[in-house]
């Protein structure tokens, strides 16, 4: 860990002041050594000896403190790495599940929008996200640096929102199937976008390479799924406008079906 005063080769007054504030033992030691030199020049040897001794003691205290800071910083970095190693597998597992949910929501939304009597046989359980087993109670969570912790909190909050939506709206009386699957699609899309942040923060692509090269990287799979959903929505809007313009083709979408 480089000293702040030497960082990036900067040595200005403000950096000196900041360094002195961060290292009071060194500042006082330098002052005592300076006083000792002055006392020695004035031939006050007893005072000079006392000042040199006190300065040496403070210099030793500063070295001890500096070594402790470095050890603490290294330990903090080590614990952050361990925390990421521990939490990454279940993070990858939950994002994979959301990716699956997003794909099934896209398929169901497209079929309901087309009103072509093709009904996928997905059930409610197929749209429930996997929940983490370690977060937030595992002690490693406390060792995550700020950016990783924030990314994890926002992503797992989106999983709770998705699970709550599926519980509250599945087969709700009077709701159209196309609207319910559209809501699931939007909720899972939000989770995927927050998952992309976690993929970067936790280096999931390097930790978990695809089992088959043809699959592509984790990020590219999510981007393809998001792009497919966008295309499905465009077709949905085009069909809706066509039905509105041609009363002969117009028919009502189906209510949510039970299996």
Give the pLDDT band (50/70/90) at residue 40: low
SS3 249: coil
Distance, CA of 31 to CA of 176 (rounded, Å): 79
Helices (H) and strands (E) in the chain, counts: 7, 0
Alpha carbon 48 to its chain's center: 57
What number of other Cβ atoms are within 10 A of residue 186's Cβ? 16
| Per-position DSSP letters for 66-86, written without gaps between them | HHHHHHHHHHHHHHHHHHHHH
Q: Which residues on neighbouring strands pair with residue 255, listed in sequence order?
A: 176
List C-alpha distances in Å: 200 to 107, 124, 174, 175, 204.
28, 31, 41, 38, 7
Percent above pLDDT 70 for the chain: 69
Whether the pLDDT of residue 157 is over 50: the answer is yes
List C-alpha distances in Å: 99 to 103, 197, 201, 219, 221.
6, 14, 18, 11, 8
Whether the pLDDT of residue 130 is over 70: the answer is yes
Q: Could you say which DSSP state residue 116 is in?
A: S
Whether the pLDDT of residue 256 is over 50: the answer is no
Whether the pLDDT of residue 65 is over 80: the answer is no
Distance, CA of 164 to CA of 11 (rounded, Å): 55
Give the pLDDT band (50/70/90) at residue 54: low
Predicted local confidence at residue 238, as pLDDT: 86
User: Which residues lie below 8 Å from residue 148, measured CB to CB, with a gap of 6+?
Assistant: 80, 83, 84, 201, 202
Whether the pLDDT of residue 159 is over 60: the answer is yes
SS3 176: strand
Predicted local confidence at residue 44, as pLDDT: 60
Contact predicate 176/184, CB 8 Å? no
| Higher pLDDT, residue 233 or 115 | 233
Give the pLDDT band (50/70/90) at residue 10: low
Please provide the distance, in angstroms rounded to a whole number, between the alpha carbons at the two ends of the chain: 62
User: Which residues lie below 8 Å from residue 158, measured CB to CB, with a gap of 6+?
Assistant: 187, 190, 191, 194
Q: Kindly report, residue by residue over 176-223, the tens digit of the pLDDT.
A: 889 999 999 999 999 999 999 999 999 999 999 988 888 899 999 999
Predicted local confidence at residue 189, as pLDDT: 98
List C-alpha distances in Å: 178 to 8, 78, 236.
58, 49, 10
Average pLDDT, stretch 98-111?
Answer: 96
If you average pLDDT over every residue of the chain, what do you get? 81
Q: Kindly report, residue by residue over 234-248, the tens digit of the pLDDT.
A: 988 888 777 777 765
Give the pLDDT band (50/70/90) at residue 58: low
Contact predicate 130/166, CB 8 Å? no
Domain boundaries, the chain: 4-73, 86-245
Predicted local confidence at residue 213, as pLDDT: 84
| Higher pLDDT, residue 117 or 223 | 223
Torsion-angle region of 114 (φ positive above 0: left; ψ -120 to 50: alpha; else: beta): alpha
On whether the pTM is more than 0.75, the answer is: no
Contact predicate 23/13, CB 8 Å? no
List C-alpha distances in Å: 185 to 51, 106, 159, 178.
74, 6, 13, 10
Predicted local confidence at residue 70, as pLDDT: 78
Pick the closest to residue 97 from 21, 173, 41, 166 (CA basis): 166
């Amino acid at each position: 860990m480089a000293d702040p005063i030497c960082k990036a080769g900067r040595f200005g007054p403000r950096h000196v002041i900041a360094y002195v504030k961060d290292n009071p033992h060194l500042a006082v030691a330098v002052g005592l050594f300076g006083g000792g030199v002055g006392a020695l020049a004035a031939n006050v040897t007893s005072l000079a000896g006392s000042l040199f001794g006190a300065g040496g003691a403070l210099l030793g205290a500063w070295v001890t403190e500096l070594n402790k800071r470095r050890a603490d910083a290294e330990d903090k970095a080590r614990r952050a790495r361990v925390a990421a190693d521990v939490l990454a597998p279940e993070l990858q597992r939950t994002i994979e599940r959301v990716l699956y949910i997003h794909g099934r929501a896209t398929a169901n939304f497209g079929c309901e929008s087309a009103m072509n009597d093709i009904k996928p046989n997905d059930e409610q359980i197929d749209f429930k996200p996997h929940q983490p087993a370690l977060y937030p109670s595992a002690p490693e969570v406390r060792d995550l640096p700020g950016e990783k912790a924030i990314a994890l909190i926002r992503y797992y909050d989106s999983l709770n929102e998705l699970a709550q939506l599926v519980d509250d709206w599945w087969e709700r009386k009077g709701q159209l199937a196309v609207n319910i699957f559209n809501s699931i699609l939007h909720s899972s899309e939000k989770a995927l976008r927050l998952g992309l942040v976690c993929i970067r923060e936790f280096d999931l692509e390097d930790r978990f390479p695809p089992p088959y090269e043809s699959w592509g990287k984790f990020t590219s799979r999510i981007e393809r799924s998001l792009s497919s959903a966008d295309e499905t929505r465009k077709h949905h809007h085009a069909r809706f406008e066509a039905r509105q313009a041609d009363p002969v083709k117009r028919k009502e979408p189906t209510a949510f079906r039970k299996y």
